[in-house]
Amino acid sequence: MPAVAKVEASRAQQEVDRLAALRPAQRAFAWFAAHEPHLRRWQMELARIPAPPFGEAARAEWLRARFAELGLEDVHVDSVGNVLGIHRGTEKAARHVAITAHIDTVFPAGTPLDIREEGGKLCGPGISDNASGVTALLALAAALADSPVRHSANILFVGNVGEEGEGDLRGMRHLFSDPRWKDSIAHTIVVDGSGTDTIVTQALGSRRFEVTVRGPGGHSWSDFGAPNPIVILSRAIATFTRAKLPAEPRTSASVGVIQGGTSVNTIPESASARVDIRSTSSQEMERLERALRVAVEEAVAEDSGSQRRNAPAKSRAAFEIASIGSRPAAELREGARILEVIRAVDAHLGNTARLHRASTDANIPLSLGLEAVSLGAGGSGGGAHTLHEWYDPSGRELALQRILLTALTLAGVPE
Ligand SMILES: [Zn+2]
């Protein structure tokens, strides 16, 4: 570590140690452990409200009411459905440290939400991902409301929509497209899932496509020679999956869904495939996107060029490639203040954590060059995205102290 960085790191450590020893901060820390039964009730109540992709309104309304009860200011639901509330700082300039947690789940509307407590564990769909994160937001807001701790910058709480799957981070995209927030949020702490052992600093990017090939269709014997979309699509996939993927920057490509055809003796009218491309590098994702397009174009051209030289134009195959998701790749810069502070907080709390790469809500601020990380809400959990999901809140106060201390240090607490 260069000498200057070392001095900076120790300064952050001094700040964290000083702040953690303040009586109001101690009081906020004590709130967490004393109110665990309350946190469980919130978490189960929240998880019982359906929040399928693009259907988060009921859960948003519940969260809005809790934010208002806890005395946050400017509590409102924005035009895409994010729930916002501010714990006001002492300084005039409207700087914000944002703490966010996604409120949507992967479970479609109608999924039975059998949320229950079993031997100290909380069980049911979405209980960890991300009811634990949203509960952390409520715990932090409640502890701040209970404690006289004063901080300089505002702390902005956001329960955001659209993190999962085809939600495609729309809640965070919206938040960071509004100059009011984009220009005033210097640091973002995303709370997603359980644990305290990771700091997500690298945003894994993804591009998702649906490739559709269409033809006139027909009878497998009497119309033989008509372009066959399943065969064309298969050739395209075979070519695409031979594209070279670098080990570094790490990149992956997968075909997750394939559909088409009506019966064994019918030439299909269409066939489609869903393709998932991921990389830590946007250039690699663009390169693979081009490779996909070329593979499909060639497969279609090869078909109309070979078997059916004299066929009428209308019987040729056609294709389209539709984007069904795009998440930017990005990385927290070396020496970022937010990382320095979390490192110091972890040292103070005796917590060990490793840097991690994932696709989270932090992708959006990171891709804009802003400082952001994703942290766990403590405790432990498993079975995410299944009906057997569980969350064990044992020791969750460590994560809550960790997030609070990080947010307060970033916001600044006057001597
Ligand atoms: Zn999540």
Whether the per-residue pLDDT at 219 is higher than 80: the answer is yes
| pTM metric for this prediction | 0.86
Using the mean position of ligand 1's atoms as its centre, give its distance from the Cα of residue 410 in Å: 24
Given pLDDT bands bounded at 50, 70 and 90, which one contains residue 77?
very high
Over residues 98-133, the pLDDT tens digits come to 999 999 999 999 999 999 999 999 999 999 999 999
Structure confidence at residue 10 (pLDDT): 87
Percent of all residues in the chain with a pLDDT value above 90, rounded to a whole number? 87
Using the mean position of ligand 1's atoms as its centre, give its distance from the Cα of residue 164 in Å: 7
Using the mean position of ligand 1's atoms as its centre, give its distance from the Cα of residue 194 in Å: 9
Using the mean position of ligand 1's atoms as its centre, give its distance from the Cα of residue 127 in Å: 10
Using the mean position of ligand 1's atoms as its centre, give its distance from the Cα of residue 384 in Å: 8
Using the mean position of ligand 1's atoms as its centre, give its distance from the Cα of residue 189 in Å: 14
Using the mean position of ligand 1's atoms as its centre, give its distance from the Cα of residue 118 in Å: 22
Using the mean position of ligand 1's atoms as its centre, give its distance from the Cα of residue 367 in Å: 19
Structure confidence at residue 3 (pLDDT): 59
Using the mean position of ligand 1's atoms as its centre, give its distance from the Cα of residue 52 in Å: 13
Using the mean position of ligand 1's atoms as its centre, give its distance from the Cα of residue 86 in Å: 23
Give dist(CA 242, CA 199) in Å, integer.
34
Using the mean position of ligand 1's atoms as its centre, give its distance from the Cα of residue 333 in Å: 23
Using the mean position of ligand 1's atoms as its centre, give its distance from the Cα of residue 262 in Å: 37
Structure confidence at residue 309 (pLDDT): 46
Using the mean position of ligand 1's atoms as its centre, give its distance from the Cα of residue 141 in Å: 20
Whether the per-residue pLDDT at 264 is higher than 70: the answer is yes
Give dist(CA 218, CA 315) in Å, integer.
10
SS3 per residue for the chain:
CCHHHHHHHHHHHHHHHHHHHCHHHHHHHHHHHHCHHHHHHHHHHHHCCCCCCCCCHHHHHHHHHHHHHCCCEEEEECCCCCEEEEECCCCCCCCEEEEEEECCCCCCCCCCCCCEEECCEEECCCCCCCHHHHHHHHHHHHHHHHCCCCCCCEEEEEEECCCCHHHCCHHHHHHCCCHHHHCCEEEEEEECCCECCEEEEEECEEEEEEEEEECCCEECCCCECECCHHHHHHHHHHHHCCCCCCCCCCEEEEEEEEEECCCCCEECCEEEEEEEEEECCHHHHHHHHHHHHHHHHHHHHHHHHHCCCCCCHHHCCEEEEEEEEEECCEECCCCCHHHHHHHHHHHHHCCCCEEEEECCCCHHHHHCCCEEEEECCECEEECCCCCCCEEECCCHHHHHHHHHHHHHHHHCCCC
How much is the average pLDDT of 172-181?
97
Task: List the single range of 246-250, 262-266, 311-315, 401-405 with lowest mean pLDDT.
Answer: 311-315
Given pLDDT bands bounded at 50, 70 and 90, which one contains residue 312?
low
Structure confidence at residue 315 (pLDDT): 75
Using the mean position of ligand 1's atoms as its centre, give its distance from the Cα of residue 356 in Å: 15
How much is the average pLDDT of 40-65?
97
Percent of all residues in the chain with a pLDDT value above 70, rounded to a whole number? 95
Using the mean position of ligand 1's atoms as its centre, give its distance from the Cα of residue 163 in Å: 7
Structure confidence at residue 166 (pLDDT): 79
Using the mean position of ligand 1's atoms as its centre, give its distance from the Cα of residue 53 in Å: 12
For tokens 């209308």, the residue is 314
Whether the per-residue pLDDT at 212 is higher than 50: the answer is yes
Using the mean position of ligand 1's atoms as its centre, give its distance from the Cα of residue 362 in Å: 11
How much is the average pLDDT of 19-33?
95
Structure confidence at residue 4 (pLDDT): 61
